[in-house]
Structure 1
Amino acid sequence: MSTATEASLRRRWLTVTVLLAAQVMIILDQNIVTIALPAIRDDLGFSQSNLVWTVNAYVIPFGGLLLLAGRLGDLLSRKWVFIVGLALFTLSSAAIGFADTQSLLLAGRFVQGIGGAIASAGLLGMVVMLLPEPVQQAKGIGAFGFASAGGGALGSVVGGVLTESVGWESIFFINVPIGLAVAVLAWRLLENDRGIGLRAGADVLGALLVTAGVMLAVFTLIEVEHQGWASARTIGSGALAALLLAGFLLRQAKAATPLVPLRIMFSRSVAGANIAQALMVGAAFGFMYFTVLYLQQVLEFAPLAAGTAFLPAPLVIAAVSMWVAPRLLTRVAPRKLAIAGLAVMVLGFVLFAQMRPDGSYLVDVLPGMITAPLGFGLTMPALMTLGMADSRPEDAGVTSGLFNTAQQVGGAVGLAVISTAVASRSTALLDGGAAQAEALTAGYRLGYTIAAVMVAVALVVAVTVIRTRTTAAAQAEPVPVAV
């Protein structure tokens, strides 16, 4: 490798590192606030029913805008769409830290979700295009997988430390120096790029349909825990969301310049990878949520101790997704790696489903805490590779946005389904006179069983739907650099 080539590769990896820092910050903010909710409630006077909107106000715009934001990067400029989104995210973080009323905090969280979606939607596509050589690209995808999964898992740890040592405001203020540094470095490192132009894919009607449909779908799923699946509100908003999304698909089939090119929508690799990861992430959301509850409500861990007990998960994901999976991806087809990883995840959730009301961390938590993240770390880079398999430089952003949208919707669906089942099981046992620890643990066991079934279905999808080229063929046709 020549000196010039080595210098170019170092610069591209520095650029990727900057992009990954943004991804960690944005993903971390989905979970970091959860552990600070009691402090926010006491300080700003939230009722218990309204407190959940501190989370929802971020998640709804974030999930709803990812696809549109990814396409805007393709049409206009990935560099400047990313920087604008990052600036919006950073400024709103500062505003939230200064918020002294409920309305200001919720408004800030909504704007923060918009900025996070705009900044993060096209990041996977940018990483893939910055590292076109197969070995380097596999490493980049593995690092992105850790940034996405590890960032979420680290949220509980970082949130607990900052909230207890400084105050809840600090979990938002910390974004300001990080966001400013990332924006400046991105401005310096990313090349000025021109998009393909609004005429090539500015499907305004399609954009409105998919944004409204996904936002309403996420809202419906979030409210299921409070409204129930059979309520008129859930059925009505769910039906409207389905109609909007069906209208989007019909629009894409007929539009002269669709928001999502049809060859992407009907690619078996892309469709299979998105379905599989939606199921897998839905199970993982349940794992993160209910493991923390088991640690705190059954094993009686303090919030900071519960967050620290979660450290094995991001550490295992980091080791596997950044070092093991990239090497395997250069030797075996991503489909085979995804199948193996999903099988390991199923085993991890089966181990969790054995937890006891009088259990211990070492016996009832740690084995699953290592096994499930091990499977996740193997699977996510493989699915990312498959999800971007049919992407071209001109639509890498929308393909990345589609993958991220499936992740967010899958997480919302999975958590809603598992939460409802867990609550129903625990409530029935409590009403029957069972002790609290016994009732809660039985509910969590059911939740982990459902998570195992969801990942098993993802495994079936990987086996039956996904079809890929051989590794050698894939390596012969790398994605060209266009960032």
Structure 2
Amino acid sequence: MPSTTSSAPGRRRLGATLALLAFAQLIISIDYNIVYVALPEIGSGLGFSAQDLQWVVSAYAVAFGGFLLLGGRASDLFGSRRLFASGLVLYAVSSLLGGLAESAAVLVGARAGQGIGGALLFPATLTLVSTSFAEGRERNRAFAVWGTAGGSGMILGSLLGGVLTDAFGWEAVFFVNVPLAGAAALLAFVLIAPDGPRAGGRSMDVAGALTSTIGVTAVVFALVQGPESGWLSPVVLTAALAGALMLAAFVAVERRSADPLMPLRLFTNRDLSVGTVVTFLYMGTFGTLMYFLTVYFQGVHGYDALTTGLAFLAPMAAIAVGSQLAGRLATRYGIRPVLVAALAAGGVGAVIVAATMATDASYAALIPGLLVLGLGQGAGYTLMFGAAASGVAAADQGIASGIVSTSQQVGGAVGLALLVAVANAGLDGLGGQALRTATTDGLRGAVLIAAAGIVATALVALGLRKPRTAPVAERHERTGGRSVMHV
């Protein structure tokens, strides 16, 4: 229920709730990258083959992407707080299992469990941000805090993974999640308002849940396995075809369902439709650049894991500044112009980074480009989710969040697969200085293509609805400074 509150206790409670939601987003973001630097030790410790080691990463990505739509609709049906706490508990249990794993199969299963936990947690967290704060100034600020945690967490994951692995071994990158996720799950029942009663007559669309989960999981599997097995390999082609058929069946089911998992009417909301495309393109461009920078730092300049993590501190600071600045500017000027400007700035930053990448370049030469890139990346990440949530009814915020976050996962997988192919072209048979030079050239080409994609994303973002004629800040002042928030 929306209510008007200006009391200090009410604000403090909302502030604590937002801190918890941002903390949960930080956990999700950290876990994307925290295992990367531990992969060599995991491989030798558990006897992974070189080909199978990728599944320490891929099992998480496949499960996360495949279950997001289900997690989003479950948040609408069963309550966001319940799904938030359930996702965190599953995260904690799976992390404990991963840290205790003594075989490759158990560890891969634990990573899949973490992915499913994330698929429950992410849309629930996004829904709680959207529904706990009124659209406009309050929601923009909330998304700025949430976006800062998400953008910074991906870089912190690399740094934390290096520190923990060096100090305590690979198991620590799993064990660290247990107290963090466990404490957050307990705090959910203290800080987040209880879920309301379930709407009468609503039920889970089982056919839609099965077809969407199988379809998206198969597509994501094909995307992450393609670079390893070959795009024309039987396993990849079979998964891609099965995924396409399941998704076609999913759309047919949704058209006929009385209470669909993903109501197709949602796509009549222009902000949600455009925001979903923007998110897909953002992750296929911005979302891949950390991978290429990591390869550049380690493969070309020979940085170790800890040094690589430290190298990301400059863009992490820029991401945090961009996220906070975006919330303020969106309140004043509206989401669309600020998002377009942020994406354009990010494209310029990517071009500067590409221009300064060389086998003999210093880290200092990269800093200007990294800072501009980080500002655009942080602002864009914050605003694209806020744009997609605009105008969506509270009862549909969960599935809307699931749609956007599924687009995020698939977009990242598609972008990485395509750009890795560009970066790795022509590297076979090379060694020594020739390999370093060719690697740098390939990485530069991939970053430039990503920059072009970022500019295309800015053009797509022009399709968002124009800002309202009266800025939110002015309306806020006319109400005497009162804030209307959902509590």
Question: TM-score category by the smaller chain?
Answer: over 0.9
Give the RMSD, CA atoms, in angstroms: 2.3
Q: Pairwise mapping of residues 182-261 of structure 1 onto structure 2 (< 5 A)? A: 182-194=184-196, 196-197=198-199, 199-200=201-202, 202-261=204-263
Q: Secondary structure at the match of 1:382?
A: helix
2:458 corresponds to: 459
* Superposition deviation, residue 83 in structure 1: 0.9
1:348 corresponds to: 349
Unaligned runs of 5+ in 1: none
1:25 corresponds to: 27
Cα distance, 1:226–1:10 mapped onto 2, change above 3 Å: same
* Superposition deviation, residue 367 in structure 1: 2.4
Unaligned runs of 5+ in 2: 477-481
| CA distance in 2: counterparts of 1:225 and 1:339, whole angstroms | 32
Aligned residue-pair number:
477
In the alignment, does 2:94 pair up with 1:84? no
Q: Pairwise mapping of residues 70-469 of structure 1 onto structure 2 (< 5 A)? A: 70-132=72-134, 134-194=136-196, 196-197=198-199, 199-200=201-202, 202-322=204-324, 324-354=325-355, 355-363=357-365, 365-427=366-428, 430=430, 435-463=434-462, 465-469=463-467
The answer on whether the counterparts of 1:335 and 1:467 sit within 8 Å (CA) in structure 2 is: yes
The answer on whether the counterparts of 2:331 and 2:471 sit within 8 Å (CA) in structure 1 is: no
Cα distance, 1:133–1:267 mapped onto 2, change above 3 Å: closer
* Superposition deviation, residue 58 in structure 1: 1.1
Partner letter of residue 214 of structure 1?
Answer: V
* Superposition deviation, residue 197 in structure 1: 3.9
Deviations 1:386-418, CA, capped at 9 Å, x for gaps: 100121111111111212111111111111111
Partner letter of residue 149 of structure 2?
Answer: A
Partner letter of residue 437 of structure 1?
Answer: R
* Superposition deviation, residue 54 in structure 1: 0.5
Cα distance, 1:230–1:133 mapped onto 2, change above 3 Å: closer
Query: Could you tell which deviates more after superposition, 34-43 or 262-271?
Result: 262-271
The TM-score with structure 1 as length reference comes to 0.93
Q: Secondary structure at the match of 1:79?
A: helix
The answer on whether the counterparts of 1:264 and 1:390 sit within 8 Å (CA) in structure 2 is: no
The answer on whether the counterparts of 2:130 and 2:139 sit within 8 Å (CA) in structure 1 is: yes
* Superposition deviation, residue 224 in structure 1: 1.5
* Superposition deviation, residue 92 in structure 1: 1.2
Deviations 1:87-122, CA, capped at 9 Å, x for gaps: 111011111111111111111111111112112222
2:479 corresponds to: none
Q: Secondary structure at the match of 1:435?
A: helix
Cα distance, 1:198–1:158 mapped onto 2, change above 3 Å: farther
Q: Secondary structure at the match of 1:52?
A: helix
Cα distance, 1:162–1:77 mapped onto 2, change above 3 Å: same
Partner letter of residue 246 of structure 1?
Answer: A
Q: Pairwise mapping of residues 60-75 of structure 1 onto structure 2 (< 5 A)? A: 60-75=62-77
Partner letter of residue 17 of structure 1?
Answer: A
| CA distance in 1: counterparts of 2:65 and 2:200, whole angstroms | 23
Q: Secondary structure at the match of 2:418?
A: helix
Deviations 1:226-282, CA, capped at 9 Å, x for gaps: 233344443332232222222222322332212123332232211111111211112
**Selected match of 1:58 from 39, 55, 60:** 60
1:472 corresponds to: 470
The TM-score with structure 2 as length reference comes to 0.93
Cα distance, 1:403–1:195 mapped onto 2, change above 3 Å: farther
* Superposition deviation, residue 479 in structure 1: 12
| CA distance in 1: counterparts of 2:197 and 2:450, whole angstroms | 40
Q: Secondary structure at the match of 2:428?
A: helix
Deviations 1:43-67, CA, capped at 9 Å, x for gaps: 1121111100011111111111111
Partner letter of residue 434 of structure 2?
Answer: A
The answer on whether the counterparts of 1:393 and 1:480 sit within 8 Å (CA) in structure 2 is: no
Deviations 1:421-440, CA, capped at 9 Å, x for gaps: 11124338x39x97111111
Q: Secondary structure at the match of 1:331?
A: helix
Partner letter of residue 136 of structure 1?
Answer: E
The answer on whether the counterparts of 1:222 and 1:412 sit within 8 Å (CA) in structure 2 is: yes
* Superposition deviation, residue 469 in structure 1: 4.4
Deviations 1:186-224, CA, capped at 9 Å, x for gaps: 111122213544842521111111111111111111011
Q: Secondary structure at the match of 1:329?
A: helix
State the identity %.
Answer: 36
The answer on whether the counterparts of 2:137 and 2:472 sit within 8 Å (CA) in structure 1 is: no
Deviations 1:28-79, CA, capped at 9 Å, x for gaps: 1121001110111121121111100011111111111111111111111211
Q: Secondary structure at the match of 2:280?
A: helix
Query: Could you tell which deviates more after superposition, 120-129 or 406-415?
Result: 120-129
Partner letter of residue 299 of structure 1?
Answer: H
The answer on whether the counterparts of 2:298 and 2:308 sit within 8 Å (CA) in structure 1 is: yes
| CA distance in 2: counterparts of 1:303 and 1:471, whole angstroms | 50
Partner letter of residue 375 of structure 2?
Answer: L
The answer on whether the counterparts of 1:129 and 1:480 sit within 8 Å (CA) in structure 2 is: no
* Superposition deviation, residue 375 in structure 1: 0.7
Q: Secondary structure at the match of 1:29?
A: helix
* Superposition deviation, residue 467 in structure 1: 2.2
* Superposition deviation, residue 4 in structure 1: 6.2
The answer on whether the counterparts of 2:334 and 2:471 sit within 8 Å (CA) in structure 1 is: no
| CA distance in 1: counterparts of 2:449 and 2:159, whole angstroms | 26
